[in-house]
Amino acid sequence: MTPAIETKQLTKKYGKSRGIIDIDLQIQEGEIFGFIGPNGAGKSTTIRTLLGLLKPTSGSATLFGKDIVNEGPAAREDVGYLPSEVFYYDNMRVIDLLKYSASFYKKPKRDIEIRMHELAKLLDLDLTRKIDDLSYGNKKKVGIIQGMQHSPRLLILDEPTGGLDPLMQQTFFDLLRQENKHGVTILFSSHILSEVQKLCDRVAIIKDGRIVETQSIKSLRGHNYFRCELELAAPAKKSIFANKNISDFSVHGHNIHFIWSGDVNELTRLLAGLQLTDISLEEPELEEIFLHYYKKEG
Amino acid sequence: MNVFRFELRSLSRSTFLWILVLLLLTSIYMSVYPAFASDVDTLKNLYSHLPAAARAAMGLSHIDTNTQFSFLNFYGNIFPFFMLAGSIQAMLLGVGILSREVRSKTTDFLLSKPIRRRTIFLSKYAAALTSLVVTGIAFVAMTFIGAKITGAGSFSMTTYLLITAVFSIVQLVFLSLGLLVSQLIKKIKSPASISLAVTLGLFITGTLGIALGEDKVRYLSPFKYVDFLYVIDHKAYEWQYLVAGISLFITCIVMSYLLYIRRDRRAVD
């Protein structure tokens, strides 16, 4: 079967800033593929190259077997794209913008319009409003409909969840899962690991413009990552924290800091044995997780 | 076709407003003609009553009162103001039409669609051209009707059309100049100020150059490609300046096309 996305040593170099180097990806039809890396790692550059917004310096890429450079329009025919920030032409109503967007695709206009109204209903968006008057979250909804109304076989989502409230995020994820059930391939880029964990089958990790690892999400699942800050009632023995799941450990008097990566229950058991005056658990930045990840691997 | 239609619809308002501006300008300037013409009659009368020797003494013996004070002569004299307005319209159009996505940050929206950049460029160009053609037709109608209303009498149709066509020629040159400017300057905050600076700059350059007797300046300023007195005398353009205009036009179009289809679209910021 032709992969939905295939890149071969795809490289994009720009002047001074870092681009991407030798990106090799193969995403099969029907996969939800996570693309994860810290900000500036090259996720957007890869996506923008796939969409023909950037011309690759070397290497090649295909969408459903169609070359992104030589057959750009054909390659993009079956793609829906949702950027992290959505912008539209001034002074237009939502419905006019969506109709303009629909006019670029070969699919029957009627089918697209039916889907447009379905999606608008699901996302609770009034199509007759002016785009300029919409809140950020509602503009994002316009973006979602715009990317999905022509029922593309491939959805490319570049950090799509920013600006969506948790409830809407849930609706959006459900929508993506539903699309995926109908065979839609999804490339989902994010710098938030938990998002990718929730949704994706496989994930590629990108760092400094290179893919450092492609793995099934199962190996990441069952792993919870926390940045733990503890304040102890009394100094504790360091040996309590000698655990394979703990990294980046530091002590300042009564304060203890570490990154936990592993089963959350094991963490609660460990904490249960301590006399705490305060605790804070946060999802660490991706960089911190990676730091931990590479130390362990390496 | 969809991009063409979309752009044309977006341009309809400004096209209409520019036609109104031109209507105002032609009305004002052409309404002066009756006064001018009546003065001419007085002058002509005066000349005819002067003895030939007196005319020669005043250095007026070679003046042909019929052409020097004709409607077309008057038309040629006021024409630069129409050209200036037309050039501003065309330049604004050129600067704006390709950079529209940059200003509204919709580059991602448009270029991620299944459409070639070449098609986008041509559609937008065609829409701009259509807007100018409509303006041009309206302009011919306005000046022609204006001439009839103000009692211009009979005049050479060829000469009149040759002069009037300069309006569209200058617009075409400025449209392509505008396109190129929009592709050379990455972020255009205000298309209006750039357009005004370029058009007024070239207008003043041309006028000053001619006033200082520097003929080479005519290659530089599209406003001076055509000398109306020459057109009135010869019913033709001076080809060397026309070639300069066409070369500038083609160079700008080709360069802006190449820049547009090749440019990398980095992240919106």
Instruction: State residue A178's pLDDT score.
Output: 94
Give the three-class secondary structure for A259: strand
Domain of A271, CATH number, reads 3.30.70
Question: Do residue A70 and residue A181 come from a single domain?
Answer: yes
User: Is the residue at B169 inside a domain?
Assistant: yes
The rounded distance, in Å, linking the Cα atoms of A175 and A140 is 14
User: Is the residue at B269 inside a domain?
Assistant: no
Question: Do residue A228 and residue A279 come from a single domain?
Answer: yes
Question: Do residue A243 and residue A286 come from a single domain?
Answer: yes
Question: Do residue A74 and residue A26 come from a single domain?
Answer: yes
Question: Do residue A169 and residue A198 come from a single domain?
Answer: yes
How far does CA A183 lie from the centroid of its chain? 19
Last residue of a domain, one of A221, A240, A262: A221
Question: Do residue A253 and residue A200 come from a single domain?
Answer: no
Last residue of a domain, one of A221, A236, A259: A221
Closest-approach residue (CA) in chain B for A96: B6
pLDDT digits (tens, 9 = 90+) for A211-263: 887 877 766 666 778 889 999 888 777 788 888 888 888 888 889 999 888 88
Query: Are B15 and B135 in contact, with CB atoms under 8 Å apart?
Result: yes
Question: Do residue A158 and residue A74 come from a single domain?
Answer: yes
Give the nearest partner residue to A77 out of B111, B114, B268, using CB atoms.
Answer: B114
Closest-approach residue (CA) in chain B for A56: B264
User: Which residue range(s) make up the domain with B226?
Assistant: 2-31+70-262
The rounded distance, in Å, linking the Cα atoms of B241 and B218 is 7
User: Which residue range(s) make up the domain with A54?
Assistant: 1-78+153-221
Query: Are B165 and B237 in contact, with CB atoms under 8 Å apart?
Result: no
The rounded distance, in Å, linking the Cα atoms of B73 and B156 is 11
Residue A180 contacts by C-beta under 8 Å, 6 or more apart in sequence?
Answer: A30, A32, A186
A210-216 and A224-232: which strand pairing? Answer: unpaired
* ipTM surpasses 0.85: no
Burial label for A55, CB within 10 Å (0-12, 13-18, 19+), is middle
- Residue contact B264–A81, C-beta within 8 A: no
Query: Are B221 and B206 in contact, with CB atoms under 8 Å apart?
Result: yes
Question: Do residue A13 and residue A27 come from a single domain?
Answer: yes
Question: Do residue A5 and residue A61 come from a single domain?
Answer: yes
User: Is the residue at B58 inside a domain?
Assistant: no
Q: Say which DSSP state A126 is in.
A: -
Instruction: State residue B269's pLDDT score.
Output: 44
The rounded distance, in Å, linking the Cα atoms of A228 and B9 is 58
- Residue contact A72–B116, C-beta within 8 A: yes
User: Is the residue at B121 inside a domain?
Assistant: yes
User: Is the residue at B52 inside a domain?
Assistant: no
Question: Do residue A231 and residue A293 come from a single domain?
Answer: yes
Tell me how far apart the terminal alpha carbons of chain B are, to the nearest angstrom. 29
Total domains in chain A come to 3
Closest-approach residue (CA) in chain B for A50: B112
Amino acid (one-letter) located at B180 = L
Task: Give mean pLDDT, residues A267-292.
Answer: 80
Question: Do residue A289 and residue A229 come from a single domain?
Answer: yes
| Averaged pLDDT of chain A | 88
Question: Do residue A137 and residue A100 come from a single domain?
Answer: yes
Total domains in chain B come to 1
Instruction: State residue B210's pLDDT score.
Output: 75
Q: Say which DSSP state A134 is in.
A: S
User: At CB < 8 Å, which residues of chain B contact A?
Assistant: 2, 6, 10, 100, 104-109, 111-116, 262, 264-268
The rounded distance, in Å, linking the Cα atoms of A112 and A109 is 5
Residue written as token pair 């023995």: A237
The 10 Å Cβ neighbour count of residue B26 is: 23
- Nearest Cα to A135, choosing from A94, A77, A192? A94
Q: Splitting chain B (269 residues) into consecutive groups of 10 residues, what average pLDDT does each group show?
A: 93 95 91 77 73 67 60 86 94 92 88 94 96 96 89 83 92 95 86 88 84 78 84 86 92 95 75
Angle between helices B2-30 and B71-104 (to 10 degrees): 150
